[in-house]
Chain A
Amino acid sequence: MTYTVRKFDAVIVGAGGAGLRAAIQLSEAGYKTAVLTKVFPTRSHTVAAQGGVAASLGNSEEDHWHWHMYDTVKGSDWLGDQDAIEFMCRKANEVVVELEHYGMPFDRLDNGKIYQRPFGGHMSNFGEKPVRRSCAAADRTGHAMLHAMYQRNVKVNTQFFVEWQALDLVRDAEGDVLGVTAMDMETGEIVVFHAKATIFATGGAGRIYYSSTNAFINTGDGVGMAARAGIPLEDMEFWQFHPTGVAGAGVLITEGVRGEGGILRNSDGERFMERYAPNAKDLASRDVVSRAMTTEINEGRGCGPNKDFVLLDITHLPPETIMKRLPGIHEIGIQFAGVDCLKEPLPVVPTCHYQMGGIPTNYLGQVVVPKGGNQSEPVHGFYAAGECACASVHGANRLGTNSLLDLLVFGKSAGETAVNDLRASVKAHKPLAQEAIARTLARVDRLNNQKDGADVHETRLAMQRTMQKHAGVFRFKDMLAEGVKRIDEIAGQVAQTQIKDKSMVFNTARIEALELDNLIEVAKATIVSANARTESRGAHVRDDAIDTPETPDGRDDRNWLKHTLWYREGNRLDYKPVQMKPMSVDTIELKKRAY
């Protein structure tokens, strides 16, 4: 198998919000920048983000970045790094105003300023009362954001390689990153993108779960590539689940349905939330509702032939209310559950929504690894931002509207740091590491020539079902331990996948097999990290983590206030401290997370 080499100052993998924002920084500084993307930039999953982007502009009422910082630390259940969180919240206004200058059509107030709306978990005066902090463009914020940033990139001559699948990170013997190998989907040609700076902005890997709100493209390509190249993955046990995804499909049913009076019922028709949250009932917080639903299913009170979902009932509401206030829900019920929600309840399950962990970075967007006694030594030439990265600002649980902020702030930061490093570094590219390239070629060769191997679709499904069952929203000691073994067996099958179609032009079977190589790394990291963390914190909730005065709600700060690092080699774990010291203000001290 042959390959060609193309040289750039910088190569960015992924053209969602983070990748586009990073590219602007590099191209504006005059660096020759390539952006590789599996799909056209404005079809990236950032499109699905509707809620808005958080910034303490204070356009409608008083607000302050310090209050936003407090909310984010608390939301993270104190696992977020307080320096990175301060950095993000302080930068929010700047990146939102920049976006406005790129042409982002934000909703506006009568006085012309950006309109802001309240969003869950965002409060004024250190948790006192809700504040209007989210800036949105109707219900198409992510989409409008991508358009504005894509246009800006075209203007500053960023070179896009659309429909290219990145394959592997190229690292030399010293551990420096020298670019990526990638495949042109249109021809099957393999090219080495030789670069002085490599930025990963590949999004999350929500497709490791059977039930996921994520689009099919979210296969954790950057996370998998980093793991294969020896970079540890941080805090991968933390995944945000949304309580109401359509069973079997994953499509999100907004919280607004329960807000309008929707009721969750088990197979006995019981409104079970009355037992778990007597006051808030169906409107309790996401994690509480998700855990209650999972308990009902695990105790045999699920619905359907496999007793694996519960019902969201709105049949008691007047049809005109549903059609007027929740029109999209009627369509979704019909399309994806075959259910007319005016007459029958909708089948729902807690559904994977967002990856809090990822490739470890600092607030400058540099990828950092433990080396020679330093817990966070930057890897030369390697940067990451957005959902694939772990800065760590979301810690154990992300607040709504902080994901779009994350990708703007850290996309810019990664680009800016890369520009500074390029200015300071020697002019020439380091020689390419032939060994790393040979590994990619061997991986593709293996796939092309595999006989009597495993079916890609079936293997992926086995992984997704195992992750859903063993490392879902509510975790049990024995199930986790069994899940680790099962995922290990499935990883063995992934190493022997086989494809029937060997054609070169847009061979989707080959692409899906290569994506599965990335997904399985994320699945391993998730289940091994979750099995080891014997406390409950944020989105990671274990049945055996007991509520005591020392460990409120099972959170064990004495033993577990630390970041997990999973290494692919040896499937081993390491840990590093949480950065409790912010950049300029006092530490936000530990306390029980209650709303």
Chain B
Amino acid sequence: MYKEKDDNFFEEILERNKYKIYRICNIYAVNPIEPQDLFQEVIFQIWKSIDKFEGKSSVDTWVYKITINVCLRSKMKFAKSNDKTDRFESIHFTRIDKEINTSEQEKFNYLKECISTLNETDTSLIALYLDDLSYTEIGVITGLSENHIAVKMKRIRKKLFECITPKIKC
């Protein structure tokens, strides 16, 4: 157990997981909440919970749990208030314009659009699935059985494919 906040451990977690966290925050952020706000809230919760990490699951799985829980909670809070989180000056987001492939970007927008048609919990399942996590890992994060996930994923994939196939083909 990490009794004291270990800055190196924290830095290692952030470096390894920052893009995974951002991808999930990106699909959960709905105006006026921005992905950066959710990202920072996730980082804050990781920092607050790091002492309690017991190593029962992998660090990455633990980070996913926090990310999904924070993002889903923001959906609940959103209805209650529109308050934004504080922005940390130590986190910088920079767009890499020169490497943006417009076709890729367009496809991602389609994907995001189709994911937004799913409900909140299905969104978290598909996000974890697209991040290439196994059903076992998704089970640890969501608390669902592998069989349950398999059934749900079959339905979610079907819905997603039906939505995105005509868009990508166009």
A joins B in a complex: no
Q: Which residues in A have some Cβ–Cβ distance to B below 8 Å?
A: none
Q: Which residues in B have some Cβ–Cβ distance to A below 8 Å?
A: none
